[in-house]
Structure 1
């Protein structure tokens, strides 16, 4: 896969409405759209059904929130803290996470289409059983994260820390790991087929085949 793979960018209106009561909007409305949220904390949001459409969240801390089954389309998160947030069973389309904290965040059983993670701290995140349709991880730290049984339909990895990450059951065909750190990565031999690795990485992966090189 080329490092120049392009994914669709979020489509954001040039006339966003700045919100000062975003928690009330989330609790009271089924859809929040064309909204700018800055320099605030969103906390204790649970048991809701919400759609975010055409929004920007900038310098926002999310705390004790449960966003399972959320629907996000054309959304940008900049300098946000989304650590330990549960996004399971969600649809995430044309969404960008830039310079965000996503430590321990959960994206299990999600559909992620045209999604960018750039300059993010995402250690211990979990993407198990999700579907990737154009997902980029760029200059980020996803050490010890789980990508188990992901349905991979275009995955770009560029300068990302994937030490001790789990990729078992995920096809890595055409996925380029050459400028990523994959020490201690967990996968199965059949997952490696078609993957692109540096010579040093390939040498380490021979352990999967039980080969000793002298």
Structure 2
């Protein structure tokens, strides 16, 4: 997981980028402040060790983009879509995520501690060792994801769909699991982790 805030080497402040197309652009150690990326289309761009502060990603679409070891502070990601994107080691602090969609890609080691991800969708996403402790995932879809080693302590998974996801050594007693949906194979693994003799 990213350690501390990246050191910015340049800054973009208050620029209106709504509906802007980003096509394989590269940004490294850039501080984005109060930038409007509403409805932006991003194809294959790379953001490395960048900091996003109060940036609006609302209804934006990102495909095969990379946000590696970035920090997102008080950003809005309402109805944003990430397809096949890499967000390894990125940290989200005080962000809003309503209707966020992630399809494929790698979010390993991402910091989503305490994030309000109610109703969000993660499908076929690698979330190995992601920090989801204290996150709210009520009625979210986390389907066919790799959650091996993910931190799920005090995570609210009420009515969350976890079917097909790799749960690793997850202890369901550390999370809220009322109405959480899992498949039969997962049920057997969970029962075994609780000490049941499954035959």
Return the TM-score normalized by structure 1. 0.78
- In structure 2, relative to structure 1, the CA distance for the partners of 1:208 and 1:90 (3 Å cut) is farther
The answer to whether the aligner puts 1:176 opposite 2:161 as a matched pair is yes
Name the structure where strand makes up a greater proportion of residues.
1
The answer to whether the aligner puts 1:119 opposite 2:104 as a matched pair is yes
| Mapping of residues 100-111 of structure 1, within 5 Å | 100-111=85-96
Q: Equivalent residue for 2:29?
A: 44
1:129 and 1:149 in contact (8 A); partners too? yes
In structure 2, how many angstroms separate the alpha carbons of the residues matched to 1:163 and 1:142?
7
Q: Equivalent residue for 1:213?
A: 197
| Mapping of residues 3-42 of structure 1, within 5 Å | 27=12, 29-42=14-27
2:152 and 2:174 in contact (8 A); partners too? no
Q: Equivalent residue for 1:11?
A: none
Q: Equivalent residue for 1:193?
A: 178
- In structure 2, relative to structure 1, the CA distance for the partners of 1:88 and 1:186 (3 Å cut) is farther
2:32 and 2:55 in contact (8 A); partners too? no
- In structure 2, relative to structure 1, the CA distance for the partners of 1:31 and 1:153 (3 Å cut) is farther
The answer to whether the aligner puts 1:98 opposite 2:97 as a matched pair is no
Moved more, 153-162 or 141-150: 153-162
Larger radius of gyration: 1
Please, what is the CA RMSD of the aligned residues? 2.2
Moved more, 163-172 or 199-208: 199-208
1:165 to 138, 143, 150: 150
SS at match of 1:117: strand
- In structure 2, relative to structure 1, the CA distance for the partners of 1:201 and 1:64 (3 Å cut) is same
- In structure 2, relative to structure 1, the CA distance for the partners of 1:72 and 1:152 (3 Å cut) is same
Q: Equivalent residue for 1:150?
A: 135
Give the aligned length: 189
Q: Which runs of 5+ in 2 are unaligned?
A: 1-9
2:159 and 2:177 in contact (8 A); partners too? no
Q: Equivalent residue for 2:7?
A: none
